[in-house]
Structure 1
């Protein structure tokens, strides 16, 4: 399962092998509404339904009822410089159904408190831009020079 080479095991030497999986699972916010007990993941192309189920049950102790996978085609875009078509890699999507008693809610990554702070910071930036514009036009012969840079 691992692409890393390790020294051969020799009797008397300490065991230096650590096996890391080549799989990845990325939690995705679904583009279509899903039931409360369905979670969507982007997984590596080599993973099967059984691998996904075992991965979640053994490592994260999540009870899994059903797994449905399908392969989505990567987007086809036009290149900026040559004008030729470039296709992104295909990827596999897994829909994991939890038992009916379990529910999953996607975490709120951008709470209102932080949004309010960002709004305040944007207001400060706008005020600073207005001050800059007013101070920039004071000396017509030295455009763009700040007012504190006087002779």
Structure 2
């Protein structure tokens, strides 16, 4: 059930209530090598294994074979100069096992390919060339502002 407040239902008025769960899942890049059919999520601390399985199957139509969870303790730190100790929040991780024939590859959001680098270099060269043309055109007028050109 949600902890959000909604307007009271009024007879004859529009239905303004929307019930949203307080659950969330965040895809996390695994720190250790895992089989191709295992996906790691960071999830809400209140979620159980059954909640995670239902969440993925009902909302995202993902076939789930097994769900394993673990809670990672948050780091404790001493605040420099103050002397007191603070602790970061604990994090719950869920390891989802997909069927054997399916595999998940974490998306490469920042690919390093040569085409992107070449395009960046050509853009930089064009900018340099434009600056040189501007300087050549305005070298006879040393104290004239750049926006005042013929």
**TM-score normalised to structure 1 length:** 0.72
| Structure 1 partner of 2:58 | 58
Residue 24 of structure 1 corresponds to 24
Q: Please provide the CA RMSD for this pair.
A: 2.7
Residue 112 of structure 1: CA displacement? 0.7
Correspondence list, 1:1-151, <5 A: 1-113=1-113, 116=117
Deviations, residues 43-92 of structure 1 (Å, cap 9, x unaligned): 01000001100110111111000000111101122323424322101111
- Displacement over 6 Å in runs of 4+: none
Gaps of 5+ in 1: 125-147
Q: Structure 2, unaligned stretches of length 5 or more?
A: 126-141, 144-150
Matched residue pairs, number? 125
Q: What TM-score do you get using the length of structure 2 for normalisation? A: 0.73
CA shift, 1:14, in A, is 1.7
List per-residue Cα deviations over 1:96-132 (Å, max 9, x = no partner).
0000111000000110138847x96xxx9xxxxxxxx
Q: CA deviation at 1:3?
A: 1.4
Partner of 1:143: none
Tell me the secondary structure at the aligned position of residue 112 of structure 1: coil
Return the alpha-carbon distance in structure 2 between the equivalents of residues 48 and 41 of structure 1: 13
SS of residue matched to 1:58: helix
SS in structure 1 at match of 2:9: coil
Q: Determine the C-alpha separation between the residues in 2 that align with 1:76 and 1:7.
A: 41
